[in-house]
Structure 1
Amino acid sequence: MRPNRRLFLGGLAALALPRPSWADAGSPAWLAAAKEGEDYCLHGLSESGESLFALPLPARGHAAAAHPEKPLAVAFARRPGTFALVIDCVTGAETHRFSPPPGRQFNGHGAFSADGRVLYTSEVVAEGSEGRVGIWETEGFTRMGEYASGGIGPHDLKLLADGRLIIANGGIQTDPTDRSKLNIETMRPNLTLISKGGTVLEQVTLPDLHQASIRHLVLTATGVAFAMQWEGDPAEVVPLLGHWVPGQAPEHYAAPEGEAERMKGYAGSIARASDGRLAISSPKGGVVQVFDAQGQFLATHARADVCGLAALGPGFVTSDGAGGICALDEGLRPLAKLDLAWDNHMVAL
């Protein structure tokens, strides 16, 4: 059969067309979910806190995962939720919508592989809260498989450069309908290192803090820093920030007495600045606490209902429930304010 010259030339033309990039979406620095009136949406934010685009969500969002090259974002439902939306951040179009298998729930976080061809999702079996990592191809976002997360209630997960995953298994078994906590006395959170093929390579627990649920992660130069939420006696004050280097025991980074209490036992987000400093936020306490790269406490900064947190050069940026976006260097400096309520996270692009 003779080749169709028109189709051949059309194919060459398609190859010559530039592929859309994040620059075509306005080069946003972060993605953040929000509530506007009774509606929910996902915003792309510039480094000055300006909203570059806002895309509708069917219900409350939590975190998002950004494709490493294409201007695509996957927005996840707040747990327990079953929607994940793939959004073209240039056109505002929903390109795909997918759900976990029956009896599963997304747990709010996901991560793309370095080449963008695979998406990993944090999931639970609704009955019992056993953790799963969902594996999806990213052309049509169909499921390729899954493997066990190594614990109960996985939340955040981070992909290492070599393809291994570190998973924060929060340890809390929840009711699949109302999120009530069922195993606080016996919960056993852990950090699990999993191979690209799904084999558990290493796992560490917190025997002295078994009621500190490990929730959120940020990669460091040598391992991963983790933020926790205390489920034990409210009168007991415990460290909410830690660091783990695979092959070693985890470390806890504690604020001094009098400062630690201000977090109210709850770290909602975590971020690492370019100079290695770490920050954790507490919407319950209305504070952000900053530590140096070695885990020494530096400062507490007050901001009502603050939770969203990301790096901004050698400092940080925050978002809060009153619609505020602030830079955090020596102190909090307002950048912008929108008429909405920001949700828990700011996802760096």
Structure 2
Amino acid sequence: MATRRGFLAGLASLSLPGIGWADVGSPAWLTAGRAGEDYVLHGLGPAGESLFAIPLPARGHAAAAHPSRAEAVAFARRPGTFALVIDCFTGALRHRLTPPGGRQFNGHGAFSADGALLMTSEVVAEGSQGRIGLWETEGYTRIGEWGSGGIGPHDMKRLADGRLVVANGGIETDPADRSKLNIDRMRPNLALLSPGGEVLEIAELEPALHQNSIRHLALVGGGVGFAMQWEGDPAEPVPLLGLWTPGGAPILCPPAPEDAFTMQGYAGSIAASGGRVAISSPRGGAVMVFSDQGAPLATLRRADICGLAPLGTDFAASDGGGGLWRIAGDELIPLRHAPVAWDNHMVPVG
């Protein structure tokens, strides 16, 4: 015979289904932008349509999408001191994350596969030593931190086995005005961290390229593609795309000779799709597409283009003039135009 206590225990064990991404229209990407004087975070469908737009208090940079809940964490343009946990169904601000004293967020974050942990890229304001902040995601309480393995961490990507690759840009910045303090001695790297935060491996570029800041990452095979920003002599063209599989050395991917100066030393975003890798440059007004082995395939030109993400086996791209594009082969095909100055990144959902 069932008891009242057993009945109540049974009720307590039930978990009602939460609001998932399908409940907000199944967005393909999250991206920040500016509409007039207002900053917003949009959820975009695969045809470029805006499914929701949520106000931000200042310019955003990237976001992190919870793997199951319709919940996003929007990060301030780095270095910043806010990260907003947003309910994308209601638009409500659930939590406002603030780094510990003397720290700054650095524009990116990532969830664990089960969504229980949020990892945030951070710097110690004085000296720019890197940290990965750890936050549980029921109440978004900070529960610890890891060393990032370098100076100035920016993007990070979780590999399929739970290890984390961190792009340590190598640049020490002034905490007040973001001026760069160590260009002559910077040492960017890629750091591989265990699921428990132990630094397992560090990969550096050859000494002649120590001013090539490693900024953004995309998963490519069992490793990553990485996009760089050159802080050296602008008259010296250098590769801005690299490939790295842990256990090996980084492989640099130069463009076709005629495109050596096209990107003007600046790759702002990266994506991988359909056996190809693309990098973008708002400064150069171009997207370059490579094979996933690093061979240059195409260069496409569009003013102020930067955001990149997979779109099926093609790519999606966004620009600062409100354009959203499909990159298919060597064609840039219009998807949609919006009265929004899109910011640097298109973050895949799911």
Tell me if both proteins adopt one fold, taking TM over 0.5 as the criterion.
yes
* Contact kept? 1:80, 1:177, Cα under 8 Å: no
- The Cα shift of 1:36 comes to 1.1
Which amino acid is the alignment partner of residue 339 of structure 1?
Answer: P
1:338 counterpart = 2:304: no
Which amino acid is the alignment partner of residue 217 of structure 2?
Answer: L
Tell me the equivalent position of 1:48: 47
Tell me the equivalent position of 1:121: 120
* 2: CA distance, partners of 1:179 / 1:140: 32
SS at match of 2:22: helix
Which amino acid is the alignment partner of residue 291 of structure 1?
Answer: F
RMSD of aligned residue pairs (Cα, Å): 1.4
- The Cα shift of 1:197 comes to 1.8
Stretches of 4+ aligned residues off by more than 2 angstroms: 2-12
- Aligned-pair identity (%): 66
1:227 counterpart = 2:227: yes
* Contact kept? 2:325, 2:336, Cα under 8 Å: yes
* 1: CA distance, partners of 2:57 / 2:296: 40
1:58 counterpart = 2:26: no
* 2: CA distance, partners of 1:97 / 1:200: 29
SS at match of 2:155: strand
Tell me: CA distance 1:3–1:97, structure 2 relative to 1, closer, same or farther (3 Å): farther
- The Cα shift of 1:183 comes to 0.6
- The Cα shift of 1:19 comes to 2.1
C-alpha offsets along residues 241-280 of structure 1, whole Å, 9 cap, x if unaligned?
000111111100010222121101000000001x220000
C-alpha offsets along residues 75-112 of structure 1, whole Å, 9 cap, x if unaligned?
00111101011111111111111111010000000000
Which amino acid is the alignment partner of residue 327 of structure 1?
Answer: R
- The Cα shift of 1:223 comes to 0.9
Aligned length: 345
Tell me the equivalent position of 2:159: 160
* 2: CA distance, partners of 1:62 / 1:169: 17
Tell me: CA distance 1:81–1:8, structure 2 relative to 1, closer, same or farther (3 Å): same
* 2: CA distance, partners of 1:161 / 1:335: 31
Tell me the equivalent position of 1:272: 272
* 2: CA distance, partners of 1:18 / 1:206: 47
Tell me, which stretches of 5 or more residues in structure 1 are unaligned?
Answer: none
Tell me the equivalent position of 1:72: 71
Which amino acid is the alignment partner of residue 73 of structure 1?
Answer: A
SS at match of 1:344: coil
Tell me the equivalent position of 1:239: 239
- The Cα shift of 1:11 comes to 4.2
* Contact kept? 2:325, 2:333, Cα under 8 Å: yes
Tell me: CA distance 1:23–1:177, structure 2 relative to 1, closer, same or farther (3 Å): same
1:217 counterpart = 2:217: yes
* Contact kept? 2:78, 2:107, Cα under 8 Å: yes
TM-score when scaled to structure 2?
0.96
Tell me the equivalent position of 2:249: 249
Tell me, which stretches of 5 or more residues in structure 2 are unaligned?
Answer: none
* Contact kept? 1:110, 1:119, Cα under 8 Å: yes
C-alpha offsets along residues 43-97 of structure 1, whole Å, 9 cap, x if unaligned?
0000000000000111110000001111110000111101011111111111111
1:19 counterpart = 2:8: no
- The Cα shift of 1:178 comes to 1.0
- The Cα shift of 1:9 comes to 7.7
Which amino acid is the alignment partner of residue 246 of structure 1?
Answer: P
- The Cα shift of 1:334 comes to 0.8
Which amino acid is the alignment partner of residue 157 of structure 1?
Answer: M
* 2: CA distance, partners of 1:256 / 1:112: 36
* 1: CA distance, partners of 2:328 / 2:114: 33
- The Cα shift of 1:38 comes to 1.2
Tell me the equivalent position of 1:202: 201
Tell me the equivalent position of 2:316: 317
C-alpha offsets along residues 25-48 of structure 1, whole Å, 9 cap, x if unaligned?
110000000011111110000000
1:124-139 equivalences under 5 Å are 124-139=123-138
* Contact kept? 1:75, 1:86, Cα under 8 Å: yes
TM-score when scaled to structure 1?
0.96
* Contact kept? 2:135, 2:142, Cα under 8 Å: yes
Tell me the equivalent position of 2:148: 149
* 1: CA distance, partners of 2:309 / 2:49: 15
* 2: CA distance, partners of 1:101 / 1:163: 26
Tell me the equivalent position of 2:81: 82
- The Cα shift of 1:18 comes to 2.9
Tell me the equivalent position of 2:285: 286
SS at match of 1:258: helix
* Contact kept? 1:110, 1:156, Cα under 8 Å: yes
Which amino acid is the alignment partner of residue 92 of structure 1?
Answer: G
